[in-house]
Amino acid sequence: MYIHIPFCRGKCPYCDFYSTVFDGALADRYTDALCREIALQSDRERLCSTVYFGGGTPSLLGADRISRITKCISDSFRLSRDCEITLEANPLTVTYELMTALASCGINRISMGVQSGIDSELRSLGRRHSCSQAADAVKITRSAGISNISLDLMIATPGQTPDSLSRSVEFLASLEPAHISSYLLKIEEGTPYHAMADSLSLPDEDMQAELYLQSAQLLEAFGYLQYEISNFARPNMESRHNLRYWNGDEYLGFGPAAHGFFGKKRYSYPRDIMQYIESPAAVDEGVGGTPQEYAMLRLRLTEGLTDALWRSRFGSPLPESYIDRARRYEQHGLTRCTDSSIALTRQGFLLSNALISEIIY
């Protein structure tokens, strides 16, 4: 289950996720609307194994509102005993009181947008926290009883160099999170960064590739194993929620801009909080769960596609045409193939969109 919390203190110049400025009264109305919609879709027969509060900045909502939502979820759906419940948090919102309250209402995983271990880079990204504040937030979260912590790192940001990236990775690793997500900066249309792209000191494509490969090598040297294009984890600490996406499993989505996949149908909600509050109506995004979609999602994972997984899902062998096409790129170091499996290499991940399209279409 994905819950979108569309509130922020302010918008970072690179971000194109849907959000609005936090307002307490609006947050109350939104919490009411979320709980109504969750209750309307109640199904106690279905087992929910992961819940993810994304944003926006979900930690801005506060413990009381989050508690209302988690209670509504547990009243409306059957949660597994080990249900992973993740909440995204900005380091500046983290207090011991908030984290202990969140832990008491079921939050057992925190994802924190640290982004860099260099204060000057944080400022250029429009982040309001410092490295020391990020470190304090991680310590507070852990002391409050939430040890499953994920940190975000941004790669190929304005002015970033191999040396500064190395220091950022070392900084994040020193905080000993269970999981690190390492994303290449993408300049999205409609963001301030897009408007000022010509004046940004951005790494060129070759340097972006170098920084991506460097970050992956450094993270693995610190004990974080790559399991997806942008995700690294200590052993057995992968994001179970995100693995559901990449395994092509069903999930419910709630909130403006949220997406869901249920009953072989994909759907989304418009990026409009007032519309969601007054009359939430999902938009049909078409059929999901097709063989091509499953292949596309699985090839994001280091494990890739296997014949056994394909047979268990579709009742037929992994298409030989996929394997034959993937083998064309093996000599270039972009794929790993056997007679019953396909996976992209780390070099292949850099060209994932083009490679996946070539393999499955």
Amino acid at 178: A
**Can you give the pLDDT at residue 10?**
87
Q: Say if 2-246 and 291-360 have the same CATH topology.
A: no
Asked whether residue 200 carries a pLDDT value surpassing 90, the answer given is: no
DSSP per position, 290-346:
-HHHHHHHHTTBSS-EEHHHHHHHHSSPPPHHHHHHHHTTGGGTSEEEETTEEEE-H
pLDDT at 138: 99
> What token pair was written down for 31?
């919490």
H or E stretch at 174: helix 162-174
Span 340-357, pLDDT tens digits: 999 999 999 999 999 999
What tokens were used for 98?
């908030």
HSE (CB half, 13 Å, CA atoms) of 160? 34
pTM over 0.85: yes
Question: Which residues, in sequence order, are CB contacts of 75 under 8 Å at separation 6+?
Answer: 39, 42
- Domain spanning 2-246: CATH 3.30.565.10: no
Q: Which two tokens stand for residue 1?
A: 């289950």
Least Cα distance to 300 among 340, 257, 352 occurs for 352
Question: Taking a C-beta distance cutoff of 8 angstroms, is the pair 231, 302 a contact?
Answer: no
What angle, rounded to 10 degrees, do the helices at 307-314 and 291-298 form?
Answer: 150
**Residue 280 scores a pLDDT above 90:** yes
What is the domain partition of the chain in residue ranges?
A: 2-246, 291-360
Contact criterion met (CB below 8 Å) for 251 and 258? no
CA 209 – CA 23 distance, rounded (Å): 40
Condensed to tens digits (0 to 9), the pLDDT of residues 166-199 reads: 999 999 999 999 999 999 999 999 898 999 888 8
Q: Is the pLDDT of residue 266 over 90?
A: yes
**Residue 20's pLDDT band (boundaries 50, 70, 90)?**
very high
CATH classification code of 291-360 = 1.10.10.920
The average confidence (pLDDT) of the chain is: 96
Cα–Cα distance measured from residue 214 to residue 279, given in angstroms and rounded to the nearest whole number: 47
Find how far residue 5's CA is from the centre of its chain.
Answer: 14
